[in-house]
Amino acid sequence: MSRTRTPIGRQVESDTVNVGEFRFESGEVITDMQVAYEAYGEFTGENAVLVCHGLTGSQHVAGRGTDSGVSGQASAWWSDIVGPGKAIDTNEYYVVCVNVPGSCYGTSGPASEGPDGEPWGTDFPPVTVGDWTRAQRLLLDHIGIGRLHAVVGGSVGGMNALDWAVQYPDDLDRLVVVASAARLDPQCLGLDAIARRAITTDPNWNGGDYYGEDNPNPEQGLGLARQIGHLMYLSKDSMDRKFGRRSAGRGGRGDAYPADPAAMFFPYREVESYLDYQAEKFADRFDANSYLYLTRAMDDYDLAEGYESDAAALSAFEGEALLLSFTGDWHFTTEQSESVAEAFRSVDVPVAHHVVESDHGHDAFLVEPEKVGPPLDAFLIAGVEGRAVTDTASDGGEPDSETDFAPVHSSLFSR
Amino acid sequence: MSRTRTPIGRQVESDTVNVGEFRFESGEVITDMQVAYEAYGEFTGENAVLVCHGLTGSQHVAGRGTDSGVSGQASAWWSDIVGPGKAIDTNEYYVVCVNVPGSCYGTSGPASEGPDGEPWGTDFPPVTVGDWTRAQRLLLDHIGIGRLHAVVGGSVGGMNALDWAVQYPDDLDRLVVVASAARLDPQCLGLDAIARRAITTDPNWNGGDYYGEDNPNPEQGLGLARQIGHLMYLSKDSMDRKFGRRSAGRGGRGDAYPADPAAMFFPYREVESYLDYQAEKFADRFDANSYLYLTRAMDDYDLAEGYESDAAALSAFEGEALLLSFTGDWHFTTEQSESVAEAFRSVDVPVAHHVVESDHGHDAFLVEPEKVGPPLDAFLIAGVEGRAVTDTASDGGEPDSETDFAPVHSSLFSR
């Protein structure tokens, strides 16, 4: 390869762009939508890859050791996967990651400045995953990217990626949906609803108006919301391994949350210590109103909305799709990914559903790069025929007794 | 049978007994421990069955249509299982159910009157499952019951029942542990810890001092704790069936929890409506400090505490044991019950682990009486040889490939 390789530090673009007037799915309009993004690598015209971040992630997807200026995100969220020589190789691809509307890392959201010079707060329009996709499209237009080689997203970022195949089916060749689903199940909807109530019942939330210097942030409520979220990302097995029932020692008890005197008779366990630490760390880096807005966008997302079925929604997509799921993930289950795979198969989109054996829970897509990288890398290069890519329809991964006798799905790969 | 059968209404005893000085496991002592109980049926000397209630349950286990005077418990919690002609037949057995220390249905706890005439609040001593067992023993002594035919308990009541076999192994012939475990796993410990933080961060909790007439109760925090608990009792499948992603209609939105204006763009879903309703109902009937105390007792319980292993803890028990578990239960899993069964087997206690196929989650033990009743009934009559009782060691219910070829456990049933 003749392309000049430059050190990662010199390849990072980090900017915030005013894409002008933006009409939200709700019908509300803001006049100056700011969109923050980072980009890595060199654009050759055909090598752009958009990476969609998860719920509380940011545009700072890669670039270990570089200071992005993104609060609390000094360590990029997917630097094990995105970077020079990594699965999404920034020596090969021009990788763009965009902070979504409603978030708090530079793109317009509740904490950013409204028309009156004060933070929007809860006057910011409601945000949907569809709004994220359209803001990303505007940003890409602005920086001169038309067609994308691929859109890749994990968790709710995977919903965002699916939405690309629905809203802009001609704009991408390949779609990678990691640990995601066509819609949340009611168990997760319930947990998200409880998390939001933990925020809105914190008196410091104050109806969403807490941005003044004299006002304390709703740290306890936001921390509780994060603790609920964290448990959704872990599995029983990973928690057994990480914490067991071990005591963190009485000295370890933090002061983030009040307790009654009787609590002192019982151990302060490692699992509590971990959750309390995560709560404090998160409250320092994330905006409580953004957490309300983004969880609602996630809860609201439904691939089939406006269509007769998931398959109908995906039928205009002419590229190839990879679904990655993890056996220990109860937030976004392998069954949910299989259901999306079936939808693709039914409309003759070449798809592979690669199931990763893991007991890490939803976190697996972040913490097991050695299992995520190879199929992702291979798919970006060679599509569903990539060497490290497996598929449930051909490997018997689905507990479908029919497949033992008749490979009923294999013909669906021919278009 | 010649015994006179009297209508259930005339068979119910309901009383609160002062069992005198009580020393808690913590070492703290209170001088007048009140213990509230109900009893059903006629005591013949050998037919007493103690039923242990779950976390927020009460002594009002049976007696549909009778007014127990137990707040919010007009409908008894296990009347499908306990009553005349039911699996625990009050025409045959003298059934006793005792409200546990730390609770709020008549037995001493944080909300009951302390030595100064005011509610104890958080000055009430810390409570353990071991304290529950000893208080039950004192109550039974008081009402003239020595040896028990059986102790039966569900959920944390199953831990309470297990503790009977450890503390008073000679006092019971049969032990029934329903949807329970030797100890909570760290996922449940984490969820319980979050639930407690939701209570203690409610400003109305006020350090546990909210009993005065002018003080509002910490209803929002207690409601959130209950919502977390409720999700632990349900399964993904049961929630799919109950709620799906259906909207409850905008008119259905309650006012128990504040929301920001952007929320109005999105549906108020049935799952949220259900959780909000459960929160309000629960806050009306339960004491927030009791919720702190009782979840801590549950979290703290460890069958092996003070012993080398679960098996060593159970080795003095000379009766028979039945474990009932439910395939859809992720709060107390079938694997956890199997582990307790293995402990019994290893010390040659006749045991059956009867696994119920159910997608109802932890709630199954309450809502599927047609599956719970037959093995329970049969076990109380005939022990592990009861006709409707199955066992994982003999029915291949365990996914252990060895059992396909060698019934390795069957010899353990011979003593």
pLDDT score for B9: 47
Question: Is residue A395 flagged as an active site residue?
Answer: no
As annotated, the binding site of A includes 226, 363
| Lowest-pLDDT range of A200-214, B67-81, B147-161 | B67-81
pLDDT score for B252: 63
The closest alpha carbon to B183, from A271, A276, A225, belongs to A271
CB contact (8 A) between residue A126 and residue B265: yes
Say whether pLDDT at B412 is over 60.
no
In sequence order, the β-bridge partners of residue A321 are A175, A351
ipTM (interface predicted TM): 0.91
3-class secondary-structure state, position A353: strand
pLDDT averaged over chain A?
A: 90
Q: Which of B123, B196, B271 comes nearest A190 by C-beta?
A: B271
Question: Which residues, other chains included, contact B139 with Cβ-Cβ below 8 Å and sequence gap of 6+?
Answer: B17, B19, B35, B37, B96, B98
Phi, psi of B358 (to 5 degrees): -160, 145
In sequence order, the β-bridge partners of residue B352 are B322
pLDDT score for B74: 55
Q: Between vectors from CA B11 to CA B47 and to CA B101, what angle results, nearest 5°?
A: 75
The closest alpha carbon to A54, from A294, A269, A267, A227, belongs to A294
pLDDT bin (cut points 50, 70, 90) of residue A1 is very low
Q: Which of A253-262, B197-206, B242-251, B252-261 reaches the highest mean pLDDT?
A: B197-206
pLDDT score for B255: 76
pLDDT score for A43: 96
Going along A333-372, which residue ranges are E strands?
A: 351-356
| Lowest-pLDDT range of A272-276, A401-405, B76-80, B193-197 | A401-405
Say whether pLDDT at A409 is over 80.
no
pLDDT averaged over chain B?
A: 90
Q: Which of A185, A236, A293 comes nearest B187 by C-beta?
A: A236
pLDDT bin (cut points 50, 70, 90) of residue A64 is low
Contacts of A120 in chain B (CB under 8 A): none
The closest alpha carbon to B28, from B94, B115, B86, belongs to B115
Cα A348 to Cα A151, A313, A345: the distances in Å are 19, 13, 5
pLDDT score for B414: 31
pLDDT score for B63: 82
The closest alpha carbon to A324, from A136, A157, A109, A163, belongs to A157
Residue type, A131: D
3-class secondary-structure state, position A269: strand
Contacts of B293 in chain A (CB under 8 A): 262
CB B138 within 8 Å of CB B22: yes
CB contact (8 A) between residue A221 and residue B201: yes
CA atoms within 13 A on the CB side of A262: 30
- Residue B72, exposed/middle/buried by CB under 10 A (0-12, 13-18, 19+)? middle
Say what percent of chain A tops pLDDT 90.
84
Instruction: Quickly tell me which residue has 């608990």 as its tokens.
Output: B229
Using one digit for the tens of pLDDT, what is the confidence trace for B356-369?
999 999 999 999 99
Phi, psi of A278 (to 5 degrees): -65, -40
Distance from the Cα of residue B413 to its chain's centroid: 28
Q: Which of A127, A187, A289 comes nearest B231 by C-beta?
A: A187
Using one digit for the tens of pLDDT, what is the confidence trace for B370-399?
999 999 999 999 999 999 999 999 865 444
CB contact (8 A) between residue B189 and residue A125: no
* Pairwise CA distance, residues A391 & A374, whole Å: 14
Say whether pLDDT at B97 is over 60.
yes
pLDDT score for B402: 35
**Domains defined along chain A, listed by start:** 10-185+302-413 (3.40.50.1820), 188-297 (1.10.1740.110)
Say whether pLDDT at B71 is over 70.
no
Residue spans of alpha helices (H) in A201-287: 219-233, 236-242, 270-285
Using one digit for the tens of pLDDT, what is the confidence trace for B277-333?
999 999 999 999 999 999 999 999 999 999 999 999 999 999 999 999 999 999 999
CB contact (8 A) between residue A263 and residue B289: no
- Helix (H) or strand (E) holding B136, with range, is helix B129-142
Q: Between vectors from CA B278 to CA B272 and to CA B284, what angle results, nearest 5°?
A: 140
Using one digit for the tens of pLDDT, what is the confidence trace for A4-25?
434 444 468 999 999 999 999 9
Chain A: give the shortest CA distance to residue B84, in Å.
Answer: 37
Q: Which of A183, A220, A296 comes nearest B263 by C-beta?
A: A296
Count of residues making up chain A? 415
Using one digit for the tens of pLDDT, what is the confidence trace for A65-79?
555 556 555 579 999
The closest alpha carbon to B177, from B354, B367, B410, belongs to B354
For chain B, the helix, strand and coil percentages under 3-state DSSP, each to the nearest 5: 40, 15, 45
Contacts of A111 in chain B (CB under 8 A): none
CB B350 within 8 Å of CB B323: no
CA atoms within 13 A on the CB side of A205: 29
CA atoms within 13 A on the CB side of B348: 4
pLDDT bin (cut points 50, 70, 90) of residue A61 is very high
3-class secondary-structure state, position B326: strand
Distance from the Cα of residue B237 to its chain's centroid: 23
* Pairwise CA distance, residues B100 & A275, whole Å: 30
CB contact (8 A) between residue A262 and residue B200: no
Which positions of B are catalytic? 155, 329, 362
pLDDT bin (cut points 50, 70, 90) of residue B73 is low
Q: Give the other-Cβ count within 10 Å of B368's Cβ.
A: 16
Say whether pLDDT at B415 is over 60.
no
- According to DSSP, residue A75 is labeled S
- Helix (H) or strand (E) holding B273, with range, is helix B270-285
* Pairwise CA distance, residues A287 & B162, whole Å: 46
* Pairwise CA distance, residues B217 & B291, whole Å: 13
Contacts of B205 in chain A (CB under 8 A): 258
Say whether pLDDT at A232 is over 70.
yes
